[in-house]
Amino acid sequence: MTVLHCRIQRRECQSVLTEKKSEAADIYRRLLSRNNGYFAPANLELSYALVSLKQYDEALANLLEVSKRDGARFPITYYHLARLYEMKGELKLAEAAFAKAVSLYAPANSQFLIDLSRVREKLGDFQGSLEAMESYSKIVQEQGQETSWSDKRIAELRSKATKQD
């Protein structure tokens, strides 16, 4: 198979996947229309489909609705809200949503602390970024996992936080 044929086949596959995601979004919209516009699992799935279709504003609206009504039952909503806010450059909102995800998931999902640290660093809050990273490192050490990369990251953040003071 030539490179050209591979590219054509890849485009066709991407087209089919996009079509399937669009079809999935339509199915979730129909389901929601029969449920007065709200059924948390469907709203979440619709949001995921919309993100993959780059329909970020509609995805955000669905996630916000779930967070308001059922955030405690579906805390992953906060993580996805935070990712969208971060992508849109709304870092304060991203920080708040990541912090909420951390409060509902830690220590079970320490990954959210890395995300929180990253956003705080982007905001110039090096001390807050350092605290989140130290929390992450402590949790993974308690789980017996390797932390050499996070130790280096903590040292970098500590240096930035010291310069900030």
Residue 105: predicted pLDDT: 87
Average pLDDT over residues 79-94: 97
The radius of gyration of the chain from alpha carbons, rounded to an integer in Å, stands at 20
Domain extent at residue 21: 1-74
96-108 confidence digits (pLDDT tens): 999 999 999 877 7
| Confidence label for 145 from pLDDT (cuts 50, 70 and 90) | confident
Percent of the chain exceeding pLDDT 90 equals 69
Average pLDDT over residues 50-54: 94
Number of domains forming the structure of the chain: 2
16-39 confidence digits (pLDDT tens): 557 888 988 999 899 999 999 999
Percent of the chain exceeding pLDDT 70 equals 90
Show which of 40, 74, 108 is a domain's final residue. Answer: 74
- Asked if residue 7 has pLDDT above 60, the reply is no
Q: Which long-range contacts (CB under 8 A, 24 or more apart) does 37-46 make?
A: 38/65, 38/69, 40/66, 40/69, 40/70, 40/73, 40/74, 41/74, 44/74, 44/76, 44/77, 44/80
113-141 confidence digits (pLDDT tens): 999 999 999 999 999 999 999 999 999 98
Residue 18: predicted pLDDT: 72
Domain CATH for 111: 1.25.40
Note whether 98 and 78 are within 8 A (CB). yes
Residue 83 is assigned to a structural domain of this protein:
no
Residue 154: predicted pLDDT: 93
- Asked if residue 44 has pLDDT above 90, the reply is yes
User: What is the distance between the alpha carbons of residues 108 and 136, in angstroms, rounded to a whole number?
Assistant: 11
Reported pTM: 0.86
- Asked if residue 74 has pLDDT above 80, the reply is yes
Residue 87 is assigned to a structural domain of this protein:
no
Residue 143 is assigned to a structural domain of this protein:
yes
Residue 8: predicted pLDDT: 44
Residue 80 is assigned to a structural domain of this protein:
no
68 with 2, same domain: the answer is yes
Show which of 39, 74, 109 is a domain's final residue. Answer: 74
